[in-house]
Amino acid sequence: MKHKSDREHSAIMAKHRATKSLGRRQVLSALGLGALAPLGACAGVLPGQGPPEALYRLTPKSTFSGELPHVDWQLVIEKPVSNGSLDTTRIALQQTPTRVEYFANAGWVDRAPAMIQTLMVESFENSNSIVAVGRETVGLRSDFVLKIELREFTAIYYEGLPPQAVVALILRLVEMPRRAIVGAERIGSSIRAEKDSLEAVLDAFDVALGKVLKRSVEWTVHTGEGAWRMGVG
């Protein structure tokens, strides 16, 4: 009788535990909660963070003047310097001359100076006019260094028309190892977007920067070649 009582007691306790577990699952279901997933299993957006940011990049220049010479010297391109409002992945806009804002939920794939440095290197490579070109971090022995200041990289809205993409660089070509500036130039472009939309503004940025990249490559090659020939002579 004692063994039967123990078995009955064990059965009652097991039933109680099962009922308690079922009740907990029913509560979780009612709250819309499931079993805890492993960390990293969910790539969704956390509450309060808003939609994921869309990332955009621009394109290098690939067409140049047929009069562009082929040169034998090597070039290092430094990362552009800029003010804090442009040294960011955010896409800058201005609706007044004194206030800088940014497009919501959209950004560049890299900080603007780093992205422009990459596009500048690719544009020089696409020109097929220079024997070697690279960033300062690759350790290339350079005959010239191109120093760049990013002055403008903003969508301008305050003219009452569709926005303009404004891009401007200050270039300084430095001869090595003398570290002498052999040329300086401001190169800029302003392209009005077809309409007031992010996609149209990005298209305008691509055209404006493309014009700046083309002129930067051609100016650098001609200026550097002139200095190179004077040095050789």
For residue 139, pLDDT over 50 is answered with: yes
0.85 cut: is pTM over it? no
The superfamily CATH assigns to domain 54-232 is ABC-type transport auxiliary lipoprotein component (3.40.50.10610)
State pLDDT tens for residues 13-59: 554 454 444 443 343 333 333 322 222 223 333 444 556 689 999 99
CB-count exposure of residue 18 (10 Å: 0-12, 13-18, 19+): exposed
Distances (CA, A) of 111 to 21, 88, 92: 52, 5, 12
- For the cut 70, the answer to whether the pLDDT of residue 144 exceeds it is yes
Distance CA(212)–CA(61), nearest Å, equals 9
Q: What is the largest CA-CA distance in the chain?
A: 117
Interval 70-96 mean pLDDT: 97
Q: What are the pLDDT digits (tens) for 109-136?
A: 999 999 999 999 999 999 999 999 999 8
Residue listed under structure tokens 């394109």: 59
Q: At a CB cut-off of 8 Å and minimum separation 6, what does 121 contact?
A: 77, 133, 134, 135
Q: Parallel, antiparallel, or unpaired: how do β-strands 90-96 and 99-108 relate?
A: antiparallel
pLDDT tens track for 151-167? 999 999 987 899 999 99
